């Protein structure tokens, strides 16, 4: 009960209201055998649209009845089982998104066959008629139909009916990126059907949510670089739509351009030189369009990045000749929607000479499981765990109860220092200080407590980085990690690095057991040759 209270007390009243409203309404409708119509009877007229080429998907591929999605493959005999659940709900969701309609080599015949098969089974679709997959599928259908200049009444009437379901189930109870996806999709539907009904709701949501969800430094407020890429991609698609189809003459396009510009600037700052994003919070490679693709797409739309100083997101990027480091000294994200947050306060990623060295564990699954709990835990991040407990109470796949808060922070030239209270139930405050110069990084930890505690600092190395321990030092080629002599012990272990969904690889994990103070000095000897 305490965990439940500490979870819901952060929610907005609007979320709580709609949670109960939708659940009560569902029970009433079930008793009355209510179901949405798979089509609309009245005449629906769609308008021809103009769209410049977008970005093809990288995480989902269709070929001759075979779907390769999130590193898992399934071949269906006709008809396709759109409710296929064996690979988990996220895989089913992605199957129902229809991203594969926008892969480069799909034919109009194959795409139409998939759409028609879906329409025939619409009355039996389960997860795919939830508002989130409707939102993504709607955009993908419209982009595909526009690409091949297809106009078919049975598709339009079905698509319109699906949008009526979306309008009836806007995700006010979840909010965050879900609510934005609803708005993006309704904007596409509004232009495609020339619908003032869809447009007014889309515009209302976009103005409200973009102002709320895009922080002053350009970050998406859920603080996942992967979701930031996805949201930016969707905004660019909306600019593509509005700019090339001037149906409404208002200030929406200006808003979209402004947000795209600062989001692109933030992403460019956060992206490492080799093109990787830091895998903070729920992030993985090969899901969202990458930074290079987003810059190219933005350039085709005449959107230029606007660079702002990193601030509200709580992330900081430090660059010298031989290394790049991104550190997290902020709160876990918006209190009312921490579903994609991890217990990772004071986490960091370090790249040396453009290559990953110390990394975040990443995300391989959304399925509620021990693996999901592990990947979100403090244990899986480059920070300090006290008494075998995570800083923030992660649970239930997408829930957070008590959470760490930054209680003090200061920043000066090449020094960042902050304190969080995630271990307040033990009477503990954790302070971490980062100091940087051209070839040396010092990470200092202080555990302030009147009681004895078990403190472990974790370092997760990229696969292939095999550190050698000699005394209190760790060595890798010309890199030395000097650890203060007051530590209790240093242990080299193994962890599973999750670079993509459903894909992990074993790598070195270093556990540093210490009393109240720890200093880690990372020295990069640039005078020696590097392998």
DSSP state of 396: T
Beta-carbon contacts of 346 under 8 Å, excluding residues fewer than 6 positions away, are 327, 328, 329, 383, 384, 418, 420, 430, 432
In the chain, pLDDT over 90 holds for what percent of residues? 90
Q: Which residue has the tokens 């992605």?
A: 94
pLDDT at site 356: 98
Q: Are 523 and 498 in contact (CB under 8 A)?
A: no
pLDDT at site 486: 83
Total residue length of the chain = 531
CB atoms within 10 A of CB 223: 28
Q: Is the predicted pLDDT of residue 305 greater than 50, yes or no?
A: yes
pLDDT at site 1: 79
Give per-residue pLDDT as tens, 376-420: 999 999 999 999 999 999 988 888 989 999 999 999 989 999 999
Q: Are 506 and 495 in contact (CB under 8 A)?
A: yes
* Per-residue tokens: 81: 């089982």
What average pLDDT score do residues 283-305 get? 98
Domain harbouring 271, CATH code: 1.50.10.100
pLDDT at site 529: 40
* 461 and 325 within one domain: yes
Give per-residue pLDDT as tens, 450-460: 899 999 999 99
Q: Per-residue confidence at 527, pLDDT binned at 50, 70, 90? A: low
* Per-residue tokens: 51: 């769209």
Q: Is the predicted pLDDT of residue 478 greater than 70, yes or no?
A: yes
Q: Are 488 and 516 in contact (CB under 8 A)?
A: no
For residue 241, being part of any structural domain is answered with yes
To 10 degrees, the CA torsion angle through 226, 228, 231, 234? -70
Sheet holding 60-63, edge to edge: 60-63, 66-69, 72-75
Q: Point out the least confidently predicted range of 9-18, 239-248, 369-378, 503-512.
A: 9-18
Give per-residue pLDDT as tens, 73-83: 999 988 899 99
CB atoms within 10 A of CB 413: 5
* 337 and 480 within one domain: yes
Q: What is the pTM of this model?
A: 0.96
pLDDT at site 58: 84
For residue 51, being part of any structural domain is answered with no
Can you tell me the distance from the alpha carbon of 405 to that of 422, in angstroms, rounded to the nearest whole number? 6
Which residue, among 166, 155, 230, 236, has the nearest Cα to 192 in the 3D structure? Answer: 155
To 10 degrees, the CA torsion angle through 216, 217, 222, 227? 130
Q: Are 201 and 249 in contact (CB under 8 A)?
A: no
Q: Are 483 and 511 in contact (CB under 8 A)?
A: no
Can you tell me the distance from the alpha carbon of 123 to that of 37, in angstroms, rounded to the nearest whole number? 8
Say whether 172 sits in a helix, a strand or coil.
coil
* 195 and 235 within one domain: yes
* 360 and 284 within one domain: no
Q: Is the predicted pLDDT of residue 464 greater than 90, yes or no?
A: yes
Q: Per-residue confidence at 530, pLDDT binned at 50, 70, 90? A: very low
* 210 and 117 within one domain: no
Q: Which of 169, 196, 219 represents a domain boundary (last residue)?
A: 169
What average pLDDT score do residues 324-353 get? 96
Structural domain boundaries, residue 99: 58-169
For residue 41, being part of any structural domain is answered with no
* 424 and 330 within one domain: yes
Q: Is the predicted pLDDT of residue 55 greater than 70, yes or no?
A: yes
Q: Is the predicted pLDDT of residue 528 greater than 80, yes or no?
A: no
Beta-carbon contacts of 195 under 8 Å, excluding residues fewer than 6 positions away, are 189
Q: Average pLDDT, whole number, for the chain?
A: 95
Q: Are 137 and 97 in contact (CB under 8 A)?
A: yes
Which residue, among 472, 454, 459, has the nearest Cα to 513 in the 3D structure? Answer: 454
Give per-residue pLDDT as tens, 487-497: 999 999 999 99
Q: Which of 311, 332, 364 represents a domain boundary (last residue)?
A: 311
pLDDT at site 286: 95
* Per-residue tokens: 74: 């399934």
Q: Is 5 exposed, middle or buried (0-12, 13-18, 19+ CB in 10 A)?
A: exposed
For residue 121, being part of any structural domain is answered with yes
For residue 504, being part of any structural domain is answered with yes
Say whether 10 sits in a helix, a strand or coil.
coil
For residue 300, being part of any structural domain is answered with yes
* Complete DSSP assignment for 34-89: ----SS--S---------------SSEEEETTEEEETTEEEE-PSSP-TT--TT-H
* Per-residue tokens: 186: 């309704």
What average pLDDT score do residues 221-225 get? 97
* 476 and 396 within one domain: yes
Number of domains in the chain: 4
Q: Is the predicted pLDDT of residue 105 greater than 60, yes or no?
A: yes
Q: Point out the least confidently predicted range of 61-70, 133-142, 392-401.
A: 392-401
* 377 and 467 within one domain: yes
Q: Which of 169, 184, 216 represents a domain boundary (last residue)?
A: 169
* 378 and 506 within one domain: yes
What average pLDDT score do residues 340-345 get? 96
**Largest pairwise CA distance in the chain:** 78
For residue 188, being part of any structural domain is answered with yes
* 343 and 472 within one domain: yes
Give per-residue pLDDT as tens, 112-127: 999 999 999 999 999 9
In the chain, pLDDT over 70 holds for what percent of residues? 99
* 355 and 281 within one domain: no
Using the CB atoms, write b or e for 332-363: b if 16+ within 10 Å.
bbbebbbbbbbbbbbbbbbbbeeebbbbbbbb
* 140 and 183 within one domain: no
Q: Are 500 and 71 in contact (CB under 8 A)?
A: yes
For residue 220, being part of any structural domain is answered with yes
What average pLDDT score do residues 484-512 get? 96
Strands 384-386 and 355-358, sheet pairing: unpaired
Helix H, strand E, coil C: the string for 171-235 is: CCCCCHHHHHHHHHHHHHHHHHHCCHHHHHHHHHHHHHHHHHHECCCCCECCCCHHHHHHHHHHH
In sequence order, the β-bridge partners of residue 139 are none
pLDDT at site 2: 78
Domain harbouring 323, CATH code: 2.70.98.70
What average pLDDT score do residues 141-147 get? 98
Angle at 10 between CA 363 and CA 406, to 5 degrees: 70
pLDDT at site 118: 97
φ/ψ (deg, to 5) at 272: -70, 165
Q: Is the predicted pLDDT of residue 250 greater than 90, yes or no?
A: no
């Amino acid at each position: 009960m305490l965990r439940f209270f500490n979870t819901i007390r952060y929610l907005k009243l609007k979320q709580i209201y709609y949670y109960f409203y939708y659940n009560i309404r569902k029970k009433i409708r079930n008793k009355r055998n209510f179901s949405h119509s798979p089509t609309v009877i009245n005449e629906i007229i769609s308008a021809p649209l103009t769209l410049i080429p977008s970005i093809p998907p990288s995480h989902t591929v269709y070929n001759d009845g075979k779907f390769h999605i999130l590193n898992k493959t399934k071949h269906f005999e006709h008809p396709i089982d759109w409710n296929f659940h064996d690979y988990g709900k996220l895989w089913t969701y992605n199957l129902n998104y229809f991203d594969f309609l926008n892969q480069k080599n799909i034919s109009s015949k194959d795409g139409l066959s998939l759409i028609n098969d879906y329409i025939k089974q619409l009355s039996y679709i389960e997860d795919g008629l939830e508002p989130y997959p409707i939102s993504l599928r709607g955009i993908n259908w419209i982009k595909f139909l526009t690409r091949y200049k297809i106009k078919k009444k049975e598709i339009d009437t079905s698509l319109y009916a699906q949008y009526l379901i979306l309008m009836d189930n806007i995700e006010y109870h979840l909010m965050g990126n879900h609510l934005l996806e609803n708005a993006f999709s309704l904007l596409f539907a509004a232009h495609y059907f020339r619908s003032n009904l869809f447009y007014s709701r889309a515009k209302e949501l976009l103005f409200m949510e973009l102002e709320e969800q895009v922080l002053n430094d350009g970050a998406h407020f859920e603080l996942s670089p992967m979701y930031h890429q996805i949201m930016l991609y969707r905004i660019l698609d909306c600019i593509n739509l509005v700019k090339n189809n001037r149906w409404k003459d208002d200030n929406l396009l200006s808003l979209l351009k402004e947000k795209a510009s600062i989001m692109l600037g933030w992403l460019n700052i956060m992206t490492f030189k080799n093109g990787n994003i830091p895998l903070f919070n729920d992030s993985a490679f090969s899901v969202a369009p990458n930074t290079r693709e987003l810059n190219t797409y933005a350039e085709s739309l005449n959107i230029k990045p606007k660079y702002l100083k990193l601030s509200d997101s709580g992330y900081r990027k430090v660059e010298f000749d031989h290394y790049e480091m991104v550190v997290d000294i902020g709160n876990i994200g918006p209190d009312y929607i921490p579903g994609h947050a991890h217990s990772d306060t004071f986490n960091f990623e370090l790249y040396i000479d453009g290559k990953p060295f110390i990394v975040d564990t990443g995300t391989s699954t959304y399925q509620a499981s021990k693996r999901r709990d592990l990947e979100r835990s403090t244990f899986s991040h480059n920070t300090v765990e006290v008494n075998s407990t995570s800083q923030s109470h992660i649970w239930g796949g997408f829930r957070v109860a008590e959470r760490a808060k930054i209680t003090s922070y200061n920043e000066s030239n090449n020094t960042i220092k902050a304190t969080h209270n995630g271990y307040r139930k033990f009477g503990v405050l954790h302070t971490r200080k980062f100091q940087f110069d051209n070839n040396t990084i010092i990470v200092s930890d202080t555990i302030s407590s009147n009681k004895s505690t078990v403190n472990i600092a974790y370092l997760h190395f990229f696969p292939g980085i095999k550190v050698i321990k000699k005394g209190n030092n760790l060595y890798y080629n010309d890199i030395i990690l000097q650890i203060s002599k007051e530590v209790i012990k240093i242990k080299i272990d193994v962890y599973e690095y999750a670079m993509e969904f459903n894909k992990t690889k074993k790598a070195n994990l270093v556990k540093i057991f210490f009393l109240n103070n720890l200093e880690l000095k990372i020295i990069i000897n640039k005078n020696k040759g590097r392998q």
